[in-house]
Amino acid sequence: MKFNVITLFPEAVKNMLSFGVIGRAVEAGKIQIQYFNPRDWSDNKHRRVDDRPFGGGAGMLMMYDPLYRTLMAIKEQDADTRVVYLSPQGQPLKQVDCNYLATVNSLTLLCGRYEGVDQRFIDRHVDMELSIGDYVISGGELAAAVMVDAVSRQLTGVLGDESSAQSDSFMTGKLGYPQYTRSEILGQSGVPTVLLSGDHKKIASWRAAQALAKTKQQRPDLMAGTSEGK
Ligand SMILES: C[S@@+](CC[C@H](N)C(=O)[O-])C[C@H]1O[C@@H](n2cnc3c(N)ncnc32)[C@H](O)[C@@H]1O
């Protein structure tokens, strides 16, 4: 799968995605990430990409023209790319969105800066506007890195063990279950005995019960409307 990231700070996103699971996926060619800086498509001698908003108000906006030219350059390579604008005004990003976006061949992520982007670019060229949470950060780069990571995890061959994504939080509509591992300081103290029993059937049902209990406690909204949520 190919990701195209439109950003004024390509190095920032590249650094975030250059290690761990995603860094290895890039190196192995499982995913391809290309970076496009709208300054390279500015017709201004100072490579300017922002201007004051019509009607006044604080701050600057990313201008339509450099973004349009950037996107056209991307579409020359990937005509059918799906365009996502990372924005606090978007729909909240969910696991189902990531699972769905992992099925497309090319995904273009637009990182806003300043006060955001000329609305006409969003209206004409953006397929989905997605938010990583109800708070405002200074630019879309962190959000784009979140999306590349969350989408890539759903692609075959990106995780060492495919089954690990299946037991992740949200994959079954619930949170994950608590886990424990070796500690020389604590020994086995505090580890639920069932996990040391070797009885895989019992372990699986303990984990399912724990996942349900944790979800009801931490995120009852995930259970609303389900038979288990009653
Ligand atoms: C300072 S913010 C602009 C906020 C905008 N003035 C507003 O109030 O909606 C600059 C950029 O950061 C990104 N951004 C900020 N918060 C975000 C969030 N919660 N989710 C995704 N992107 C976000 C967007 O790309 C946005 O264009």
Q: Which tens digits make up the pLDDT trace of 115-139?
A: 999 999 999 999 999 999 999 999 9
Give the mean pLDDT of the chain: 95
Output b/e per residue, 136-153; b: 16+ Cβ within 10 A: eeebbbbbbbbbbbbbbb
The two beta strands, 50-51 and 61-62, are antiparallel
On the question of pLDDT at 29 being above 80, the answer is yes
**Which amino acid, 124?**
R
The domain ranges of the chain are 2-152, 167-229
Contact status, residue 74 vs residue 49, Cβ threshold 8 Å: no
Q: In this predicted structure, what is the pLDDT of residue 18? A: 96
167-229 folds as Trp Operon Repressor; Chain A (1.10.1270)
Beta-strand ranges (E) seen in the chain are 2-6, 32-36, 50-51, 61-62, 82-92, 106-111, 128-131
On the question of pLDDT at 230 being above 70, the answer is no
Q: In this predicted structure, what is the pLDDT of residue 165? A: 78
- Residues with a catalytic annotation lie at 88, 115, 153, 168
Mean pLDDT of 209-222: 95
On the question of pLDDT at 166 being above 90, the answer is no
Residue minimizing CA distance to atom 5 of ligand 1: 115
**Domain 2-152, classified CATH 1.10.3980.10, yes or no:** no
Mean pLDDT of 55-66: 97
Residue minimizing CA distance to atom 16 of ligand 1: 136
HSE, side-chain direction, 13 A CA sphere, residue 22: 22
Identical fold, 2-152 and 167-229: no
Pocket test for ligand 1, best of 86, 89, 97, 113 (most atoms within 8 A of CB): 86
Residue minimizing CA distance to atom 19 of ligand 1: 88
Token pair 């995930």 in the structure block, residue: 222
